[in-house]
Chains A and B, each alone.
Chain A
């Protein structure tokens, strides 16, 4: 391993992902690495019992992407407080597969992600996504619980 220079941070904009992002930024700052925030989303297509498929309209798609972009911009605003070079990516597809693919194709040195999303079902979902990424991704993956063990480091105040 050379030094860690490129860190990929998948986010679903949950508290757990935000916590992992702050840990990743902290790590990036101490290692002199850059951070790429990745948001993977899936279009809510669904199939009716008769087999017909209801596709997402262009409007819904645009709204999804717009909402993701807005939240990513907010995350970048938070990240800028760390003085770490931050870029963003938005990709459509199943989260775990997208994360593993982006990490490999982009030759990221490390993926940092939370194991818990929001609450209830989301918690299960993100946990299973992290678990799947660990299982399938060929790049190193760091998983971080939230908030069972807060970092002793004091983070810069949020804007």
Chain B
């Protein structure tokens, strides 16, 4: 197994920090790149109604949701020491586990690192690559 690309799905909880720190440490050992992914939920029915009323583009979460996610992503990355590790961030919109699996396949990640949680079981069956779950030590 050659670990070149590691995908870390985050929801900005403290668990996300644990997973990201683990992934960065592993990436340093393996000389891998780390992609941090947040999946924002698709807009709810009422949000779609608001989009229609406000004449905004359809299918996107409210702008404040995306702006909030970008700010939290920046804070998460800033709070994680990652010197010497190539780290990129991405925010996608969609169903969580399906989007994680799609991104991992599209960008040829060799490993997904996450803290066990609600989506873990789904990820175990959908992941196109090995899945590493870790808890805080």
Contacts and interface: CB of A to CB of B under 8 A. Distances in A.
Interface in B34-74: none
Question: Is chain A's binding surface mostly helix, strand, loop or mixed?
Answer: mixed
A1 B25 contact: yes
A27 interface: yes
Interface stretch (A34-42, A45-53, A56-64, A133-141): A133-141
Given A3-B29, A131-B121, A145-B127, A140 B1 contact: no
Contacts of A142: 111, 130-133
A148 interface: yes
Interface in A96-110: 110
B6 to A, nearest CB: 12
How many of chain A's residues touch chain B, expressed as a range?
20 to 34
Contacts of B132: 110, 140-143
Nearest to A141: B133
Interface stretch (A10-18, A86-94, A149-157): A149-157
Nearest to A28: B1
Question: Is chain B's binding surface mostly helix, strand, loop or mixed?
Answer: mixed
Interface string B120-136: 11001101111111110
A130 B22 contact: no
Contacts of A27: 1, 3
B125 to A, nearest CB: 8
A53 to B, nearest CB: 34
Contacts of A145: 127, 130
Contact of B120 (A3, A4, A134): A134
A149 B30 contact: no
Nearest to A148: B128
Interface in B86-134: 111, 116, 120-121, 124-125, 127-134
Interface of A: 1, 3-4, 23-24, 26-27, 30-31, 110, 115, 127, 130-131, 134-135, 138, 140-145, 148-149, 151-153
Given A127-B124, A130-B124, 5 more contacts: A30-B2, A135-B116, A135-B120, A140-B132, A148-B128
